[in-house]
């Protein structure tokens, strides 16, 4: 839970936690943490500090005592009671937001879009308080209970609280949007960025890209025209060749072979 050099201080701290009383009052998901004493009112006795470690031999004794006191205050003071106070503050803040939005929902005739946002924000807040907040509250109580096993240490509580901050921030953004809608008479908000983007005329860049398909179409038409012309020339050449061949055949059929009579007698 704490540094090794402050183990006696931590035992002393556990005794303080054992003697102090922490009670949970309320019903349902609403709790109130009540502590009998405060950490700022607890005195500090330097005589309970252990001897300095070897690495602190060169440090004067008063400075070593002050350093150990600072470490004890920064580490050991953030125990279950400290986090319970933070949790209570967040719970009261979210409960106030939920009550205000539920009242606005009843007193005003709101559009369906706004009603959906209100119910989403209120539902998310109530779910967070009933589940994760309750789980964190139980961890804080186990930290204050010296007989708990396993007993969560301060670092465990700090890590869980850091994770809770993400959910708290998300819900805070939802209620912040609702408060802005309320300030705008529950009318939809128009971001200034959208208005500025609509003002300037569009840049004529797309027509330049549109010329490329036209050029390709012209090239396709010209190549098709060339193929047709080549086909016509080929057909004309075939016709000419067939004409020449037929004329040559006709001339060959009309040739008469003359054989002298003397040769026939042989």
pLDDT recorded at residue 38 = 42
What digits encode the pLDDT tens for the residues 205-244?
555 555 555 555 555 566 667 777 777 777 777 777 666 6
pLDDT recorded at residue 162 = 94
CA R_g for the chain: 47
pLDDT recorded at residue 233 = 73
Positions of the chain with pLDDT lower than 70, given as ranges: 1-77, 191-224, 241-266
d(CA 21, CA 248): 128
What digits encode the pLDDT tens for the residues 101-126?
999 999 998 999 999 999 999 999 99
- Domain positions in the chain are 4-187, 212-240
| Mean pLDDT for the chain overall | 69
pLDDT recorded at residue 239 = 74
| pTM for this prediction | 0.45
């Amino acid at each position: 839970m704490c540094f090794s050099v402050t183990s006696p201080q931590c035992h002393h701290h556990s005794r303080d936690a054992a003697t102090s009383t922490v009670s949970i009052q309320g019903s349902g998901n609403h709790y109130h943490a009540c502590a009998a004493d405060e950490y700022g009112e607890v005195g500090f006795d330097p005589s309970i500090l252990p001897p300095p470690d070897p690495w602190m031999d060169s440090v004067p004794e008063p400075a070593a005592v002050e350093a150990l006191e600072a470490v004890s205050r920064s580490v050991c003071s953030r125990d279950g009671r400290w986090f319970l106070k933070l949790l209570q503050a967040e719970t009261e803040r979210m409960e106030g937001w939920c009550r205000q939005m539920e009242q606005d929902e009843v007193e005003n005739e709101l559009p369906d879009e706004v009603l959906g946002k209100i119910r989403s924000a209120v539902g998310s807040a109530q779910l967070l308080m009933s589940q994760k907040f309750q789980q964190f509250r139980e961890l804080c109580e186990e930290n204050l209970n010296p007989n708990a096993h396993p007993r969560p240490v301060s670092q465990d509580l700090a890590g869980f609280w850091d994770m809770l901050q993400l959910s708290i921030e998300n819900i805070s953004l939802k209620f912040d949007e609702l408060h802005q809608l309320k300030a705008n008479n529950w009318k939809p908000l128009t971001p200034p960025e959208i208005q500025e983007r609509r003002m300037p005329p569009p840049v004529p860049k797309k027509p330049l890209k549109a010329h490329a398909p036209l050029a390709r179409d012209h090239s396709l038409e010209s190549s098709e025209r060339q193929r047709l012309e080549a086909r016509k020339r080929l057909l004309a050449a075939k016709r000419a060749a067939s004409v020449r061949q037929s004329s040559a055949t006709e001339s060959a059929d009309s040739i008469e072979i003359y054989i002298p009579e003397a040769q026939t007698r042989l």
